[in-house]
Homo-oligomer: A and B are copies of this chain.
């Protein structure tokens, strides 16, 4: 496949819409400037376009295979991983004390978006390593940090997340993997974990598994779970690789998409593991990994949508029908514009969530995270489907490549917490958690944006914000069961509105700056205009579903 990173769109979303430079207000990130940002994004664009995109199709076709516990990866992937690690890409936002560059997460997310666009299967490997880095940075002991962080940040080793078991799915309370204390202070871990992304490969000397397990005698349910570090190879006291640990890959899933990414069944058979964080506080530690990973998965939704858009655009410019190239047809343009405008809104949502973390605005970060994850990954599926449609019959033929995006995109609304779980999280932990305070702050911001904005469609944003305010009041006042029935359309309304707000803020911020070039401003104005008539204009009509679906569901008899 061909992929040319949309660096100008990404910079606009990052700097203007998601307000990157606000991270420097407190004096933080003093080393970051426009030149450095530009250099990073251009280098990421080159890596993605030149090294990773050419492997996307062969990875899909070749897939992965298991033999005697070893995973055979598609040709070219090992070398690409070396290039990726050597480029320092894992360390962009990591702690300089362990070799990281200490840049904002928002910048790292923008670079990773390009990686995911070029090759979503490949991008999962660093995405999981970043989760492990996050967990060890936050919860690890000084010795654990010393042993693992530098190697993970340099990419010399990779990391994994081991949560799910066959009987568990989204309900981690019923996990049965056991941890038995050993005399050496370690634990012996036994159990089977499924859906372990990049659980096994031979790119690196070691793989660091983070594993949820229950210490013998711990309470049942999610309050009895602890998190363990289980390296594939044990380390000597000097940190050198020692003997093989009792963990192995015993199966690979045959999946709809992301064929180049091994999804492993991992067997722990008395494997040696070390507790990370406190006993029985494993779930909280795991959530540290998951929250960052959720924004990353949201970004995968944006990324696969962008890849599908680029491929459909190229096809539409080339393919002739009725004497003209099909991009001249209004309905083809409508589909392309639907993709493009929602991509830019979702991109801004993901960056805004990451930059809220960089600014230490935890309330904003935690509110935006489930919205960014679910709204962007739903878009990934929608855009990939439109990409197939624009191709007509060719889209259904695997050789054209549009079908791969349609298959790959489908996982993102499922993993790192299904989008249904995100909607419950938004309602239950976020909205009820602060009685709607963070959401009301954002709604006020959306209304102020609409009021201050001179764009002809500003009124659409105002109307969406009014609807979101009404929906928020309803959700806070509703009975729990009623609110849960409305939680998904509520999340969608929030994404519609806040995505539009960010698009508008991007234009306002860029217009106020002398640096913004007119062509990109014109383009962003066109995107917002289309977004207003298609997304914002329909947003308030979600209110009926939010408020009344519980009653309509009550009479359903399944």
Chain B residues contacting A334 (CB-CB under 8 Å) are 485, 488, 549, 553
Contact A256 B484 (CB under 8 A): no
In angstroms, Cα B551 to Cα A253, docked, is 48
Interface size on A, residues (CB 8 A): 88
Is the beta-carbon distance between B389 and A418 smaller than 8 angstroms?
yes
Least CB distance, A372 to chain B, in whole angstroms: 18
CB distance from A455 to the nearest CB of B (A): 12
- A244 within 8 A of partner (CB): no
- Are the C-beta atoms of B313 and A397 separated by less than 8 Å? no
Residue A487 interfacial (CB < 8 Å): yes
B residues less than 8 Å from A340 (CB atoms): 556
Complex Cα distance, B393 from A164, in Å, reads 10
- Pairwise interchain contact A322-B171, C-beta atoms closer than 8 A: yes
In the complex, are the beta carbons of B410 and A385 less than 8 A apart? yes
Whether a CB of chain B sits under 8 angstroms from the CB of A336 is yes
The answer on a CB contact under 8 Å between A330 and B485 is yes
Q: What residues of chain B lie closer than 8 Å to A522, measured between beta carbons?
A: 555, 557
A388 an interface residue at 8 Å Cβ cutoff?
yes
A477 interface hit (Cβ, 8 Å): no
A255–B556 CB distance below 8 A? no
* A538 CB–B CB distance under 8 Å: yes
Nearest CB of chain B from residue A341's CB, rounded to whole Å: 9
0/1 string, A395-425, CB within 8 A of B gives 1: 1111100010011001101110011100110
Kindly state whether residue A471 has any CB partner on chain B within 8 Å: no
Bound complex: CA A415 to CA B395 (Å): 11
Residues on B with beta carbons closer than 8 Å to the beta carbon of A529: 551-552, 555
Q: Give the docked Cα–Cα distance between A395 and B253 (Å).
A: 12
Contact of A333 among B389, B485, B533, B544 (CB under 8 A): B485
Contact with B along A303-345 (1 / 0, CB 8 A): 0000000000100110111110001011111111100100000
Whether A395 pairs with B420 at a CB distance below 8 angstroms is no
Question: Which of B313, B323, B337, B540 is in CB contact (< 8 Å) with A541?
Answer: B540
Q: In the complex, what residues of B have CB within 8 A of residue A424's CB?
A: 331
A288 interfacial contact with B, CB 8 Å: no
Given contacts A330-B481, A403-B256, contact A396 B420 (CB under 8 A): no
Which B-chain residue is minimally distant from A256 (CB atoms)? B403
CA distance A164 to B331 in the complex (A): 21
Task: Flag whether A3 is at the interface (Cβ < 8 A).
Answer: no
- List the B residue with the shortest CB-CB distance to A558: B327
Does A157 belong to the interface (CB within 8 Å)? no
Which residues of the partner chain B approach A552 to less than 8 Å between Cβ atoms? 337, 526, 529-530, 532-534
Contact of A392 among B170, B253, B395, B487 (CB under 8 A): B170
Q: When the two chains form their complex, are residues B533 and A545 in contact, meaning their CB atoms are under 8 A apart?
A: yes
Residue A101, interface by CB 8 Å: no
Please name all residues of chain B whose beta carbon is closer than 8 Å to the beta carbon of A257 when the two chains form the complex: 396
**Closest B-chain residue to A316, C-beta based?**
B558
A545 CA to B420 CA, complexed, in Å:
28
Give chain A interface residues in 420-462, CB to chain B under 8 Å: 420, 423-424, 460
* A317 cross-chain contacts in B, Cβ below 8 A: 558
Check A537/B541 contact, CB under 8 A, given A253-B397, A256-B398. Answer: yes
A346, B556: Cα distance in complex, Å: 19
Residues 136-173 (chain A) with a chain B CB within 8 angstroms: 164, 167, 169-171, 173
Q: Is there contact, CB below 8 Å, between B548 and A533?
A: yes
Contact A393 B330 (CB under 8 A): no
Which chain B positions have C-beta within 8 A of A544? 460, 533-534, 537-538
Which of B385, B418, B423, B533 contacts A381, CB < 8 Å? B385
Residues of B within 8 A of A170 (CB): 321-322, 392
A523 adjacent to B396 (CB under 8 Å): no
B410 touches A550 (CB 8 A): no
The answer on a CB contact under 8 Å between A549 and B523 is no
Asked if A549 and B526 sit within 8 Å, CB to CB, the answer is no
CB <8 Å contact, B393 and A414: yes
A4 within 8 A of B: no
Q: Is the CB of A545 within 8 A of B537?
A: yes
A361 interface residue, CB < 8 Å from B? no
Q: Given contacts A253-B396, A330-B484, A538-B541, could you give 8 more A-B pairs where the C-beta distance is less than 8 Å?
A: A169-B319, A169-B392, A170-B392, A256-B398, A256-B406, A330-B553, A389-B420, A403-B410
A-B contact pairs, 17 of them (CB 8 A): A173-B322, A194-B393, A255-B403, A256-B398, A329-B484, A331-B423, A333-B553, A340-B556, A388-B410, A389-B413, A396-B414, A529-B551, A530-B553, A532-B552, A533-B545, A533-B548, A534-B552
Please name the 8 residue pairs, one residue from A and one from B, whose CB atoms are nearest each other, closest first: A537-B544, A330-B485, A256-B403, A526-B555, A530-B552, A541-B541, A331-B420, A171-B321
